[in-house]
Amino acid sequence: MTVSVLLITHDNVGKALLEAAINTLSFCPLSAEILSIPSDCDPESTIQHAMQKIHELDQGQGVLILTDIYGSTPSNIACALSKKENVRIISGINLPMLIRVLNYPNLDLDELVLKAISGGQEGIMDCISHIRE
């Protein structure tokens, strides 16, 4: 059993990121689902839908939720799930973060949180400064 991943993002951001990650890796080593949040969503019913997805995804090792902008509707929906046991939430998803998570399918939930954060942070750089070094 492994940790599962749920992407809760604006519109199709999560879908695009997961497709890009799978294309890069050639497969998806963790069970992953997407919850796309349209601008006109009903937050309460969406929270219930997200809870159902967590229930379906959790194989006993927990669910890592990756969301885009902290404080936005997708993030608020994700944070509403924080009381569930074995759920961790990271905002600021980017492709390096997601690929890092998928590259470590055998880590436990707490270790995977650290990999997600380090992957997201290390994937951000000033390219011009980096090239000139």
Which DSSP helix (H) or strand (E) runs through 35?
A: strand 32-37
Rounded-to-integer distance, Cα 22 and Cα 52, Å: 24
pLDDT-derived band at 1, boundaries 50, 70, 90: confident
Q: Is residue 18 pLDDT above 90, yes or no?
A: yes
pTM: 0.94
Task: Specify the amino acid at residue 60.
Answer: G
The residue extents of the domains of the chain are 4-132
Mean pLDDT of 21-41: 97
4-132: which CATH number, 1.10.287.180, 3.30.460.10, 3.40.50.720, 3.40.50.510?
3.40.50.510
